[in-house]
Amino acid sequence: MLKVAFYKSRKRFGKAPYAVDTRYVLNGGGQKFFATKQEAQRYIDRVSKELVINDTDAWSWTFEKLRNAYLIHLQKELRDGERSKSYVQEKERHTNQFISCAINGGKLADMLVSDLTKGQIELQLMDQLKKNRSKKTVINLMGSIMTMMSFATKYGCRETNPCIQVEIKGDAAKSKRKTKARRIQPEIINRIIAEMTPEWQLIAKFACQTGLRQGEQRALTWADILFDENKVQVNKAYKHRAPVGETKTEAGDRLVPLTHEMKSLLQEHFMACGRPNDPATLVFGTSAGTRSASGRIVGAIACRRYTPGSVRMPARFLSAIHKACDDAGVDRIRWHDLRHYYASVMLKVYSKEIWRVSNYLGHEQVATTTNIYGHWIEDETDNDKEVDKVSSAFG
């Protein structure tokens, strides 16, 4: 039974005199001192509520130990096919961000899991978690923390989940940023692409003229290029550092028209790659790709199968476009802005057929397209042939 003890000597020297000793009921417990008896009693009430009697040492786990055990658990679920690699990576990233926070002047990683309160999350940790993050991002982050704390209750670290009904906030400055895509003029796009190497020029032009997401473009194989139909088939994508998987949404599986220029460029690229026989060969593999008998890299862009070293990493795309922007003397843009550029051109061509543009972009709802790009819609005269309309727009 926990009790409040009073130390006259501590009071005489101006120190907190009321103590609660948990050494005999908790593994790793100790004495905690309080300025008033009421504070000490509140601590006893909380500890008594959280107290778990079991044969493990989970009650004495720190957040670092909890995080490690949680990740081991997720890796097992990944091996059993119950979780995707991207899911596990997201949870690892979020839990690392959480335990790196400071609490009561110390590291949260070193704090006992059983000691964390809902008030500490709202009054101390939330200010750190929301910094430079939108409310939506914080909600996702807290969802991961909620899951880890549920894991903690199952393992006996504590009885309750302190994340329940926590008020979630986002960075006010971050939230005020405009969600609508900004329009980038064609001459700016052309200047940026002109400063790229030949291999990146092809990759960037493809992004501009098809609107594929970066992960979709990275996963593209020659089987997805339907030359006879003048279309690109999108049915898979890379997410973060996870293996190739499904597209972002169900509507992400789609057919996108190829412009005359892009079809011609891809045909030249296909021949430069040695006309790959394997349909699973990546269209935009890394330059450390297939080599001829003499050891020379085949093609302007090497063609690779699905192997860890063959897929271009996201950082390469950002580095390539930032360098081109700097060399062109224009403000830096993101690779995703090339997709926005595609959307702006399509909306000029199909201003009265937003559903068509939405399908090309892989949006689940037309409302998503109009919310992001609706301010760009302009009236244009309809042409007869779809491919000619798209080609002329980029020409």
Structure confidence by residue, pLDDT tens digits, 354-364: 889 999 999 98
Is it the case that residue 3 has pLDDT exceeding 70? yes
3-state secondary structure labels for all residues of 227-249? HHHCEEEECCECCCCCCCECCCC
3-state secondary structure labels for all residues of 29-70? CCEEEECCHHHHHHHHHHHHHHCCCCCCCHHHCEHHHHHHHH
Is it the case that residue 68 has pLDDT exceeding 70? yes
Average pLDDT of 243-272? 91
Residue 368 lies in a domain: yes
Residue 163 lies in a domain: yes
The parent domain of residue 2 ranges over: 1-51
What total number of domains does the chain contain?
3
Residues 6+ apart with CB under 8 A from 169: 126, 130, 135, 138
DSSP 207: H
Q: Model pTM?
A: 0.56
Distances (CA, A) of 306 to 35, 139, 251, 275, 289: 63, 34, 24, 17, 11
Residues 167 and 201 both lie in one domain: no
Residues 3 and 69 both lie in one domain: no
Residue 340 lies in a domain: yes
Q: Determine the pLDDT at residue 313.
A: 86
Residues 223 and 96 both lie in one domain: no
Q: Determine the pLDDT at residue 179.
A: 53
pLDDT over 70, % of the chain: 83
* pLDDT tens for each residue of 225-242: 999 999 999 999 987 666
Q: Determine the pLDDT at residue 376.
A: 61
Residues 100 and 167 both lie in one domain: yes
Of 151, 175, 199, the residue that ends a domain is 175
Q: Determine the pLDDT at residue 256.
A: 95
The CATH number of the domain where 247 resides is what?
1.10.443.10
Q: Determine the pLDDT at residue 195.
A: 96
Average pLDDT of 20-46? 80
